[in-house]
Amino acid sequence: MKDSYSLDRDEDGLDKQYKAHYQAYFNIFARAGLPVIAVASDTGMMGGKLAHEYMYLTPIGEDTLLVSEDTGYAANREVARFYKTPSVAEDALPMEKVATPNTTTIDALAAFLNVPTAKTAKAVFMVGTFVEGETRIERFVFAVIRGDMDVNERKLANALKAVDLRPAQDEEIRVRGAVPGYGSPVGVRDCLVVVDDAIPDSPNLVAGANEAGFHLLNMNYGRDYNADVVADIATAQEGHLTVDQAGMLKTVRGVEVGNIFKLGTRYSAAMQATYLDDAGLAQPIIMGSYGIGVGRLMACVAEHYRDDKGLMWPISIAPYAVHLVALPGEGSFAAADQIYSDLRAAGIEVLYDDRDERPGVKFNDADLIGAPIRVTISPRTLKEEKAEIKLRSEATSQNIPLTDLLPHLQSEIVRLQAAIAETVKTVPYRA
């Protein structure tokens, strides 16, 4: 990682630094030739209250992202939010137990009772790991969400401040008074109950009766049970509306190449890293953390700039601007040696292939390495006192007089660099 840290005296200072890094990282990736988007992300092990990830979009990416082309919203699935269609307001009806044989799934239950999945309550049983002081303890977690949604385990862990979650085993479920496939929070014991924030406003839901083959009609939050935590624990999916209902969410894949975090005082307070305020009192430093994955960046550039022959490095980060190829024959190596010296003296980075190999081998290797400009010196071009110039990004080549070679290459390098520079744009900040 290529890291940066900011140290400020207040939240306003951190906010200024964070926004400056937000734009600076867009500038860096643009200058590297890599198109990225910034997505809201989970703070994860770094902690803090806000984080963004810089993502290169590609079908082979390991992260799932939710984006809206209509509104510009973008977030990692771990934290993505969406509009939850509200339930129709109803008076709370008396709770009733009914027989529902062989209905251990939401779809089977909804079909059996002829109700929409949004009128059911899905139970998810987990065991969370929590840190209290220096001790790690496990607690049973009973999560409740509407049947038309799925639980997002990262959101659930964040809501509980759990360091880990695992699926509960059947015996762990039963000892709490619940039954796998027929569970509800009514009457359970010794567990943390977490409900999605859509549950309190969803009346008369169908839920498990904690008895195999039976469900409860008209379960209502607040009357029949309460929760330890109410939070957004739902997974956003493609086709959901954005929270403001102004756009549709789409699923894309991406590779994380950088991230920025508002750490706040998490580390400074723990390490007693303080400054003296105007009153002479010690205050914890407000921190930010910012990192670029250099190896990931290079891999993504290689993925983005390639063809079936090899790499096609952008001029801004190419290891060499020019690949000089001397083909065997009378006078070629002597002429290429002089050109190599002239280009080096002019400050141009040159990779010189003076091997005694066949032209096809040299050209294939040049395409594989992918320097932006290839210069070829051969007995044929020397007879015309010219050099062959070919851009790696183009299929055709041209012959340039040797006397014009240096200024021509300098002009091409400037042109390619300018094209990269034009991609650096101010990006609106999105929290």
In angstroms, rounded to a whole number, what is the distance separating the alpha carbons of residues 157 and 165?
Answer: 7
Count of CB atoms within 10 A of residue 370's CB? Answer: 23
Check whether 288 has a pLDDT greater than 80: yes
Instruction: Give me the helices (H) in 57-105, please.
Output: none
| CB 299 within 8 Å of CB 58 | no
Check whether 396 has a pLDDT greater than 90: yes
The residue-averaged pLDDT of 124-149 equals 95
The residue-averaged pLDDT of 188-207 equals 96
Work out the percent of the chain whose per-residue pLDDT is above 90: 96
Check whether 46 has a pLDDT greater than 90: no
CATH superfamily of 2-82+239-303: Bira Bifunctional Protein; Domain 2 (3.30.930.10)
What pLDDT shows up at residue 53?
A: 96
Q: Domain ranges for the chain, please list them.
A: 2-82+239-303, 96-231, 311-421
Burial of 161 (0-12, 13-18, 19+ CB in 10 A): exposed
In angstroms, rounded to a whole number, what is the distance separating the alpha carbons of residues 125 and 128?
Answer: 10
Q: Does domain 96-231 have CATH number 3.90.960.10?
A: yes
| CB 260 within 8 Å of CB 287 | no
How do residues 10-23 score in pLDDT, each as one tens digit?
999 999 999 999 99
The residue-averaged pLDDT of 97-116 equals 96
CATH superfamily of 311-421: Anticodon-binding domain (3.40.50.800)
Higher-pLDDT residue of 189 and 46 is: 189
